[in-house]
């Protein structure tokens, strides 16, 4: 049986299309939600993580992200039939919010998405974005705050932000493009998010509140993703409600927001706008997800100026390393796994001039990995892609300053200034070549996947991977000796030299003994000649040294030829393009001459 609707159900905004459908609410589900929340609040207490007991399996599953999608769909309301004259439309079940958020395998990737939204507001005058922990007074639990002073959103803008798949960001200066980042990132970090935003558009100042609540949708048995929103006109001396439908609809939206958000009254909501100023946006994510052990994924306690990933920070993998454990744990390539401050420090390639990312009250100092490299070089790569304008990718490659003590390696690949793949290792795991070699490049010609933690595996990506492997090998062959490594081939030459000397000594002793026995019947000059031959040929010392030197010389010549071959290939490609352009111009000239000739004949 479908749940019975309560009287005066809240009028809310349907994310799919219709704004006038009234979802059914389940009083039994509301009671279940209240009881579940009460139990969780009692067990959570303060922000200090508390384990849930085994008897609370259902409550624990609802608070653990990777289990939050496991609920019985049959308990939700049945789809409402279309009204007369209204077309059927596809609904988005609340489960989709969770399954859509699973595209973020990493919580820091979700945080980066929300930072991207603030960075995109720089062209609207944004000067900062704050990321901080706030305490929810209702249940004394921690929440995550994102606050920027960008242009904000008007009532139409916040509805587009809350809609699935809509994006107005299509310029080359913005990072977002899919219209999915806000929904996936907020739902990956917590079960619920409330948005406060102010904007001035067309001379009208407005402020809006929107609640995206997985808890509300699940506990009230909704079969569609709906979001309650309220808007105010603040152009005058006080906030006037903007009524799009009826006053009852507006009041129902407000009531739903107050019931399912951390704020108990309309006054509490309006207070949240005091630090926003004339324009800006504030996002509060609450009911943060727990890990499988019933502890908050995000750790706010170990460092007052940082936010850490508890599971990553507590991994024991680093303890298994035999040496330089402290140095490895302090290197940026490892810190970004569990420290949000470290990750944000390299998240954007170019340093901001008038914009700060403030994490827990302290600005994050941006760090350019290329500046930390020694013996660095810049390699230009021209990808073969079907676009009109030729693209050149400048890759900075060098050794980390801790080389050769640390074997950290890989390429940091950015897209539109945003880090997509940190320390991407392109060489084989079993090879020692390339250890300590790190590169930095911006690959705007590639398309990132939805969570911006990788690229689509296109033919252009595969060609880039192949070229980066070549870069590592070429750099290693020419520069590895600068940090104490032997050039490739030297080890084998030394081994061959030792083997040859070991095999020559017994033969030399036998030949010396035979020569001594035969020397009695030879003239004095012949004896000296034989000894001279033995010194140069039998002992093999100068002979092997000469072979090693010649091999090294030949190796360096081969490297030079390989480099020349690459340059020649680039020259050939350039000449082919010039030839193609010359042929095109030649064809145009012929057409022009022919046209003039025909015109002359007509005259």
CATH number at residue 188: 3.30.565
Q: Strand 393-400's sheet: what is its strand order? A: 373-381, 393-400, 437-442, 410-415, 418-424
Kindly state whether residue 372 falls inside one of the protein's structural domains.
yes
Tokens of 214: 């997985």
Query: Residue 423: which CATH number?
Result: 3.30.230
pLDDT at residue number 212: 94
Residue 242 belongs to some domain of the structure: yes
CA distance 479 to 476: 5
Cβ contacts of residue 452 below 8 Å, gap of 6+?
109, 112, 113, 116, 175, 415, 418, 420
Looking at residue 174, its pLDDT comes to 41
Last residue of a domain, one of 260, 279, 309: 309
Domain boundary among 459, 488, 517: 488
In a domain, 558, yes or no: no
425 domain residue, yes or no: yes
Tell me, yes or no, whether 286 and 391 share the same domain: no
pLDDT at residue 30, as a whole number? 40
Strand partners, 397: 377, 439
Sign of CA dihedral 458, 462, 465, 471: negative
Residue 313's H or E segment, with its range, is helix 310-313
Q: Residue 427 domain-assigned?
A: yes
Alpha-carbon span 490 to 480, nearest angstrom: 12
Instruction: Find the angle CA(376)-CA(438)-CA(476) to the nearest 5 degrees.
Output: 70
Look at residue 88 in the predicted model and tell me its pLDDT.
59
Beta bridge partners of 282: 147, 196
pLDDT value of residue 32: 35
Residue 270 lies in a domain: yes
For 41, counting Cβ atoms within 10 Å of its Cβ (0-12 exposed, 13-18 middle, 19+ buried), the class is middle
Residue ending a domain, among 309, 341, 360, is 309
Q: What is the mean pLDDT of each run of 10 residues along the chain (603 residues)?
A: 37 41 36 39 40 45 71 52 58 79 89 95 96 93 97 93 60 46 90 96 94 92 89 92 92 95 94 95 96 91 95 57 69 95 98 97 97 96 80 95 91 97 89 90 93 92 94 93 80 55 55 55 45 42 62 73 82 88 89 84 75
- Dihedrals phi, psi of 49, to nearest 5 degrees: -65, 135
SS3 state of residue 475: helix
Number of domains comprising the chain: 2
Dmax of the chain from CA atoms? Answer: 129
Claim to verify: residue 205 and residue 108 sit in the same structural domain: yes
The answer to whether residues 420 and 301 belong to one domain is no
Which of 252-263 are b and which e, b meaning 16 or more Cβ less than 10 Å from the residue's Cβ? Answer: bbbebbbbbbbb
Question: What span, in angstroms and rounded, lies between the C-alpha atoms of 400 and 269?
Answer: 50
Question: Domain of 431?
Answer: 368-488
Give the Cβ contact number of residue 506 at 10 Å: 9
Contact of 476 with 399, CB cutoff 8 Å: no
Residue 522 maps to a domain: no
């Amino acid at each position: 049986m479908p749940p019975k609707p309560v009287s005066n159900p809240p009028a809310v905004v349907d994310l799919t299309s219709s704004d006038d459908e009234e979802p059914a609410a389940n009083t039994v589900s509301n009671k279940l939600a209240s009881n579940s929340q009460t139990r969780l609040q009692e067990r959570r207490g303060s922000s200090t993580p508390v384990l849930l007991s085994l008897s609370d399996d259902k409550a624990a599953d609802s608070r653990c992200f990777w289990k939050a999608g496991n609920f019985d769909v049959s308990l939700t309301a049945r789809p409402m039939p279309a009204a007369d004259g209204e077309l059927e439309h596809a609904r988005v079940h609340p489960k989709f919010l969770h399954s859509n958020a699973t595209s973020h395998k990493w919580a820091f990737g979700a945080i980066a998405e929300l930072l991207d939204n603030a960075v995109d507001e720089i062209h609207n005058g944004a000067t900062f974005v704050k990321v901080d922990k706030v305490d929810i007074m209702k249940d004394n639990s921690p929440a995550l705050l994102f606050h920027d002073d960008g242009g904000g959103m008007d009532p139409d803008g916040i509805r587009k932000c809350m809609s699935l798949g809509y994006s107005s960001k299509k310029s080359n200066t913005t990072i977002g493009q899919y219209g999915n980042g806000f929904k996936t990132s907020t739902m990956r970090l917590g079960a619920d998010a409330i948005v406060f935003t102010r904007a001035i558009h067309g001379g009208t100042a407005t402020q809006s509140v929107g609640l995206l609540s997985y808890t509300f949708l699940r506990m009230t048995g909704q079969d569609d993703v709906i979001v309650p929103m309220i808007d105010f006109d603040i152009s005058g001396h006080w906030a006037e409600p903007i009524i799009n439908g009826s006053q009852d609809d507006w009041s129902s939206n407000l009531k739903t927001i107050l019931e399912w958000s951390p704020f108990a009254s309309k006054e509490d909501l309006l207070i949240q706008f005091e630090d926003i100023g004339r324009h800006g946006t504030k996002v509060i994510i609450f009911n943060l997800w727990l890990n499988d052990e019933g502890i908050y994924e995000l750790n706010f306690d170990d460092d007052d100026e940082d936010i850490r990933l508890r599971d990553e920070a507590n991994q024991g993998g680093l303890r298994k390393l035999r040496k330089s454990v402290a140095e490895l744990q302090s290197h940026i390539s490892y810190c970004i796994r569990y420290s949000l401050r470290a990750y944000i420090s390299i998240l954007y390639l170019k340093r901001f001039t008038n914009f700060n990312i403030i994490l827990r009250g302290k600005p994050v100092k941006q760090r350019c990995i290329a500046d930390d490299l020694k013996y660095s070089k810049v390699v230009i790569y021209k990808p073969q892609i079907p676009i009109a304008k030729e693209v050149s990718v400048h890759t900075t490659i060098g050794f980390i300053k801790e080389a050769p003590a640390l074997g950290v390696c890989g390429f940091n690949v950015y897209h539109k200034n945003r880090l997509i793949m940190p320390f991407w290792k392109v060489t084989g795991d079993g090879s020692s070549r390339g250890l300590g070699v790190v590169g930095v490049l911006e690959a705007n010609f590639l398309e990132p996947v939805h969570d911006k933690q990788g690229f689509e595996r296109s033919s252009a990506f595969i060609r880039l991977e192949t070229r980066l492997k070549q870069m590592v090998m070429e750099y290693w062959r020419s520069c590895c000796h600068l940090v104490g490594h032997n050039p490739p081939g030297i080890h084998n030459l030394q081994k061959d030299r030792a083997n040859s000397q070991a095999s020559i000594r017994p033969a030399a002793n036998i030949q010396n003994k035979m020569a001594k026995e035969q020397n009695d019947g030879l003239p004095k000059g012949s004896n000296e000649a034989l000894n001279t031959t033995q010194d140069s040929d039998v002992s093999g010392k100068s002979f092997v040294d000469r072979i090693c030197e010649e091999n090294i010389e030949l190796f360096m010549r081969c490297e030079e030829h390989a480099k020349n071959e690459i340059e020649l290939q680039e020259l050939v490609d350039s000449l082919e393009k010039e030839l193609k352009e010359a042929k095109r111009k030649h064809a145009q000239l012929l057409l022009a001459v022919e046209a003039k000739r025909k015109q002359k004949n007509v005259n």
